[in-house]
Structure 1
Amino acid sequence: MGAGAKTSTTSAVTADGLLWDGVVTLHGRVEHQLSKALQRRHGIGLSEYRALCRLSRADDGELRMQELADLIGLNQSSVSRLVARLESAGLTSRAMCPKDRRGVYTVITDEGRAVQEKAAPTYTETLTEALDAAAADPALASLLTTLRP
């Protein structure tokens, strides 16, 4: 091969690859719109909102830190920083597990519930708008038809 020759590193595009590309594109667009709306209207990030939602639905409004991390798709370090921000804002507090002193829970406060309840209509409205916009995009329409009932 000469000095100017190029080798092809393009792999074959599979149906699964195209499907996943669509999912990633859809996810990115929707996450961006949700994040922007929640920050603009309520001063909270998307991860904060999701944590408050999970906590508000949990028994006694509390979850172990690792359980919260798993539910919202964050690693332990990220969820620790997230919970610290929520605590600083007065939206959650920490509690020790009475049976296992190594276990740390995060507990939603009344203020946290109020913020989550106030932000919920924004989240729902923005999610619907983002999915409707994606459904109108020819590149994503078939994916949305499959995902939405």
Structure 2
Amino acid sequence: MMSGKSDAWLKLVQAVSNIEADIGKAMQDRHGLGLSEYRALQVLSRSPSSELRMQELAVQLQLNQSSISRLVERLERAELTVRDLCPDDKRGVYTVLTDRGRARLQEAEADYGRALDMALRKYGCEDLLSATLNTPQ
């Protein structure tokens, strides 16, 4: 038999999965972007010079090397990012946000926010997120 904490954790994990699915569907339907692609553009836009080493992007998105390579390939094919070699270490590869990628992100941001708000309400997580935002760090 599961404990109350374990039951609550399972409900939270299921809610997060459902929220992610709803947001992902909205991003795909409205902007042709997968959720990981949207988040990659978001992370890159907030990074110094709008670029990150592939490994850093993988860590921030919690993706493995194979997954980040496929993700970056999709972004490059869509001309949303480009790869650049690290000037100090030729083995280091950067992913750089393009102007087209920044524009695509800006086009999608409002829909992302609306989809997030709707999904949080739908799955009863608004209060939980508000409590997290208002907790001193």
Matches of 1:52 and 1:23 in 2, distance apart?
A: 26
TM superposition outliers: structure 1 runs of 4+ over 2 Å: 143-149
Q: Superposition pairs for residues 12-91 of structure 1, below 5 Å? A: 12-91=1-80
Q: Of 114, 128, 132, which aligns to 1:146?
A: 128
- Paired amino acid for 2:128: T
Deviation, 1:73, is 1.5
CA displacement, residues 87-132 of structure 1 (integer Å, 9 cap, x when unaligned): 0110000011111111110000000000000000010000001001
Question: Is 2:100 the partner of 1:114?
Answer: no
Matches of 1:92 and 1:147 in 2, distance apart?
A: 31
3-state SS of the aligned residue for 2:96?
A: strand
Deviation, 1:15, is 2.6
Matches of 1:118 and 1:126 in 2, distance apart?
A: 14
CA displacement, residues 27-46 of structure 1 (integer Å, 9 cap, x when unaligned): 11111111110111111111
Q: Unpaired segments of 5 or more residues in structure 2?
A: 132-137
More helix by share: 2
Max radius of gyration: which structure? 1
3-state SS of the aligned residue for 2:95?
A: strand
Which residue matches 1:3?
none
Kindly tell me the number of residue pairs found equivalent between the two proteins.
131
**Superposition TM-score, scaled by structure 1 size:** 0.84
**Segment drifting more, 102-111 vs 20-29:** 20-29
User: What value does the CA root-mean-square deviation take over the aligned residues?
Assistant: 1.2
3-state SS of the aligned residue for 1:30?
A: helix
Matches of 1:145 and 1:62 in 2, distance apart?
A: 34
Identical aligned residues as a percent: 49
Which residue matches 1:128?
117
Q: Unpaired segments of 5 or more residues in structure 1?
A: 1-11, 136-142
